[in-house]
Structure 1
Amino acid sequence: MELFKSETNFDFMAWRKPSLVISAILCLLSLAIIFGRGLDYSMDFEGGVMIEVKYEKSAEIADIRNALEAGGLKSAVVQSLGTATEYSIRIKPEDAHVGAAAAEAPKPEADKAAPAEAAKPESAGKTETDKIAAEVLKALKVSRADASIKRSDFVGSSVGEELREQGLVAVLFVILGIMVYLWMRFEWRFAVAAVASEIHDTLITVGIFALTAREFDLPALAAVLSVVGYSINDKVVVFDRVREIFRSSRKGEPYEILNRSINSTMSRTIMTGLTTSLAVGTLYFVGGPALENFGLIMLIGIAVGTLSSIFFANPILLWLGVSKQDLMPRSKEDPELARRP
């Protein structure tokens, strides 16, 4: 099945300069949004209260969310604990109109010599957690009298900070691994173009997500990593076609061959994007609040990645000066190979 005929020869590379300028502007705007406005981190990264509730009879997650929203706890995250009667509720202290600063207040120097005084912040934190748990239970009992609290714990922001750092390290590690792989598989120009495309796609995707003012949680982080993997997959297909056409053509300028590569993979690029969007679109529209962020980021990333495969990656290759000599197989008479044991 082909959406575009194999002999199609649309001149995509003619748009390389405007597309690179637009991409640079979008990347700068995304950086300004991410570091200026910032991401609205969820309790996964900011800390908060984890409450486990139990019902005598089965309950629905939607009903629990509705009860919490009616009680003013609109940002609470509800998840099943494996049964229809036990659920976990995660909520930020400020969303419950209760401050949790006392739970993480630094201990004064004078308190180090007084154990009784040093224990006060911990007691205060426990009190604030109990207040939030009581507020949650009150909201739940309005609709279901059989609700009860199994336990409640406070998660400090230090845990969330560690998760943020590990998430950033994971993204950088993935991009570095992709660069090394492409350097070995193709040639250094392809590695540079691929990494530039990955940074481009990730920045713009996260920047657009930040504009939605949604909470950035662990599923959102997983989606960002998935976008990196999805995006590079499409670039590898296009790059492989570039190498194939370079090697099989006796004549042809890089400009022409890059255009032919984009045109010959266009059907595959669009069809892959559409079919993947159907899957992640289902997560966004009917997956519930726990999966909405994952689906939304994937939808944004697929659109951005598809466009960058056409208007960004190959123009970068042309700008770097890719040529047929760089992609031809090395002969056994190559001096570099001859020196190897």
Structure 2
Amino acid sequence: MSSIRWIKKDLRINFLRFKNFATLLSLLAIIFSLTFLFYKNLNFGIDFEGGTLIELQKNDDLSLSQIRGELSSLNIGDFQIQTFGSENNILIRIENSSSLISGADLTTSELITSQLGEGITIKRTEIVGPKVSSELIQKGIIAIIIAVFLMLFYIWIRFEWQFSIGAVTALVHDVLITIGLFSFLQIEFNLSIIAALLTIIGYSMNDTVVVYDRIRENLRKYKQMPVLDLINQSLNDTMSRTLLTSVTTLLALFSLYFLGGEVLKGFTLAMIIGVFIGTYSSIFIASQIILYLNVKRDWSKN
């Protein structure tokens, strides 16, 4: 019994016909991302900003305004209150202050023993000092930079310098646009998002390597074919694998996003965005860069 093919075997799409449009679209997306990063910044979570995070569960009789009033009377500085999952799960974010770090336990106990009485249940309390948060920011940036440079070195060794420039350009493209969307949407940016960005780098690189490997194979096979036609041929050859991998990954991520709870939503959203952008960049960005860099034609000795 033959297997089902979602993409026909003799697919012939001229992907590079859209290279100018793809370049313009990517440049606009990067400018959009950088603009929001500079003017709106990221909505850093407790991991990077420092402060106190309190997760509590309230009963139906207690309103957010009552909780807000109790917190205001405690004189703990600036804070934010939001629902977390269901309407009865509440997240309280309290900005860093010298009095807060020493008095966080007192704040929590007052919330329990004040007029709220048994109306709430403290589920989680996290405290991050300013020194720790600044170190986490530095380590997160360093981790992303190291990952990109290691990928650059790997592609340079396995292929040629033209391929490494194309791959790293696609990676920077994916990371910048993903971060820009988080800035635009003002979704909390914490350590789990750093983990998602590192995963996106690996996923995007895997997609790009599959395309590059087929391009190299076709360079050996079709020595007289124009490079533009050869790249199109390679993209068509790998399209079935690219789309099926992306679709199955997205199915798992959407399930995790809707069923995994609020804690995982930031991570899975970053991954969903990254898979879409990574698939796009491996087809339209990484491939056209090696077209412009005059990739070597004779691979018979490699």
Please indicate, yes or no, whether the TM-score normalized by the shorter chain is above 0.5: yes
Summarize the Cα distance change of 1:196–1:148 in structure 2 as closer, same or farther, 3 Å threshold. Answer: closer
SS at the partner of 2:81? coil
Deviates further, 170-179 or 126-135: 126-135
CA distance in 1 between partners of 2:220 and 2:297 (Å): 7
Once the 2 structures are TM-superposed, how far is the Cα of residue 128 of structure 1 from its aligned partner?
5.7
Contact 2:204 2:278 in 1 (8 A): yes
CA distance in 2 between partners of 1:137 and 1:217 (Å): 31
Residue in 1 aligned with 2:107?
131
Residue in 1 aligned with 2:230?
257
SS at the partner of 1:74? strand
Contact 2:81 2:91 in 1 (8 A): no
Summarize the Cα distance change of 1:43–1:65 in structure 2 as closer, same or farther, 3 Å threshold. Answer: farther
Q: TM-score, normalised by structure 1?
A: 0.74
Once the 2 structures are TM-superposed, how far is the Cα of residue 322 of structure 1 from its aligned partner?
1.2
Alignment size in residue pairs: 282
Contact 2:174 2:278 in 1 (8 A): yes
Contact 1:129 1:153 in 2 (8 A): no
Matches within 5 A, 1:277-288: 277-288=250-261
Once the 2 structures are TM-superposed, how far is the Cα of residue 92 of structure 1 from its aligned partner?
2.7
Deviates further, 305-314 or 235-244: 305-314
Structure 2 letter corresponding to 1:267: S
CA distance in 2 between partners of 1:68 and 1:169 (Å): 43
Summarize the Cα distance change of 1:148–1:240 in structure 2 as closer, same or farther, 3 Å threshold. Answer: closer
Is 1:45 paired with 2:17? Answer: no
Summarize the Cα distance change of 1:154–1:8 in structure 2 as closer, same or farther, 3 Å threshold. Answer: closer
Unpaired runs of 5+ in structure 2? 69-79
Contact 1:193 1:317 in 2 (8 A): yes
Deviations 1:179-204 (A, max 9, x none): 00010001110000000000001111
Once the 2 structures are TM-superposed, how far is the Cα of residue 323 of structure 1 from its aligned partner?
3.3
Residue in 2 aligned with 1:115?
none
Structure 2 letter corresponding to 1:181: Y
Once the 2 structures are TM-superposed, how far is the Cα of residue 48 of structure 1 from its aligned partner?
1.5
Is 1:101 paired with 2:74? Answer: no
CA distance in 2 between partners of 1:258 and 1:219 (Å): 36
Once the 2 structures are TM-superposed, how far is the Cα of residue 255 of structure 1 from its aligned partner?
0.4
Structure 2 letter corresponding to 1:308: S
Once the 2 structures are TM-superposed, how far is the Cα of residue 36 of structure 1 from its aligned partner?
1.8
Once the 2 structures are TM-superposed, how far is the Cα of residue 31 of structure 1 from its aligned partner?
1.2
CA distance in 2 between partners of 1:222 and 1:137 (Å): 38
CA distance in 2 between partners of 1:216 and 1:136 (Å): 29
CA distance in 1 between partners of 2:63 and 2:202 (Å): 37
Residue in 1 aligned with 2:248?
275
Residue in 2 aligned with 1:329?
301
Residue in 2 aligned with 1:291?
264
SS at the partner of 2:13? coil
Summarize the Cα distance change of 1:91–1:328 in structure 2 as closer, same or farther, 3 Å threshold. Answer: farther
SS at the partner of 1:324? coil
Deviations 1:91-131 (A, max 9, x none): 5324xxxxx5334xxxxxxxxxxxxxxxxxxxx75236522
SS at the partner of 1:14? helix
Larger gyration radius, structure 1 or structure 2: 1
Residue in 1 aligned with 2:12?
9
Deviations 1:237-278 (A, max 9, x none): 000000011111242010000000111111111110110011
Summarize the Cα distance change of 1:11–1:50 in structure 2 as closer, same or farther, 3 Å threshold. Answer: closer
Summarize the Cα distance change of 1:204–1:75 in structure 2 as closer, same or farther, 3 Å threshold. Answer: same
Of 134, 151, 171, 1:161 maps to 134
Taking only the aligned residue pairs, the percentage that are identical comes to 33
Matches within 5 A, 1:191-206: 191-206=164-179
CA distance in 2 between partners of 1:148 and 1:282 (Å): 29
Q: TM-score, normalised by structure 2?
A: 0.83
Structure 2 letter corresponding to 1:319: Y
Residue in 2 aligned with 1:215?
188
Structure 2 letter corresponding to 1:47: G
Contact 2:52 2:104 in 1 (8 A): no
Matches within 5 A, 1:81-92: 91-92=92-93
Once the 2 structures are TM-superposed, how far is the Cα of residue 35 of structure 1 from its aligned partner?
2.3
Is 1:74 paired with 2:47? Answer: no
SS at the partner of 2:52? strand
Contact 1:33 1:210 in 2 (8 A): yes
Deviations 1:71-101 (A, max 9, x none): 34634879xxxxxxxxxx985324xxxxx53
Once the 2 structures are TM-superposed, how far is the Cα of residue 289 of structure 1 from its aligned partner?
1.1
SS at the partner of 1:92? strand
Deviations 1:197-226 (A, max 9, x none): 000011111111222211111111111111
